[in-house]
Amino acid sequence: MIFNGSWMIADFSNEEKAVAGLADHIGFAMYPENGLIKTYAEGSVICAKTPETQEAAFTFLKEYWSTEPQEDRMEKDGSIPVSSEITISDEFKASNPLFVANVDAVQKAETTVQTFDVLAYASVVDAFGQYYPELAAGSLDAAGMAEKLDEAAAKAE
């Protein structure tokens, strides 16, 4: 049993990364109560300085995340689309049953759990990484850790 993500699906069929036929021996299962752990999709940030370059970047991102490029990425590298409007061809479905099982499960999930990095301010995620070694080593207790994370959250507001 592998507790990992959909980004691994294409690798199970890639003979440079897995033994031949591995994908035929792997299935997809949800957690109890039809549950899934959800993570964020890729995000994009526009850091352009001028209105012209900001508009160009925005135009590019709208195109990049439109349905056709998402379908292309799905077909080429097994990327899970972020849009529910994506069409999955019958040919792709037939040759990628694990991928289809994953997409179907996402649509049928009754219980979802967000991951820490989706729920928290970026400053809290950063602080967690900074102070976790101290918590693990015992030089910071749970109350101290909570205080550090509260301080990081207060800076984000």
pLDDT at 2 over 70: no
DSSP calls for 75-89: HHH-PPPS-TTPPPP
Beta partners for residue 113, in sequence order:
37
pLDDT for 118: 62
Q: What is the pLDDT of residues 88-142, one digit of tens each?
A: 899 999 988 888 888 888 888 898 877 766 666 788 888 988 999 999 999 999 9
User: How far from 150 is each of 123, 125, 135, CA to CA, in Å?
Assistant: 10, 11, 15
Q: Which of 17-21, 36-40, 77-81 has the lowest mean pLDDT?
A: 36-40
- What is the pTM for the complete model shown? 0.60
User: How far from 109 is each of 12, 117, 125, CA to CA, in Å?
Assistant: 24, 20, 26
Mean pLDDT confidence for 7-32? 87
pLDDT for 45: 75
Beta partners for residue 36, in sequence order:
112
Cα distance between residue 51 and residue 42, in whole Å: 24
Q: What is the pLDDT of residues 41-88, one digit of tens each?
A: 666 778 888 999 999 999 999 999 899 999 998 888 888 887 878 888
pLDDT for 156: 82
Kindly indicate the confidence band of residue 37, based on its pLDDT and cuts at 50, 70 and 90: confident
The dihedrals phi and psi of 114, each to the nearest 5 degrees, come to -80, 145
pLDDT at 21 over 70: yes
Is the Cβ–Cβ distance between 48 and 56 less than 8 Å?
Answer: yes
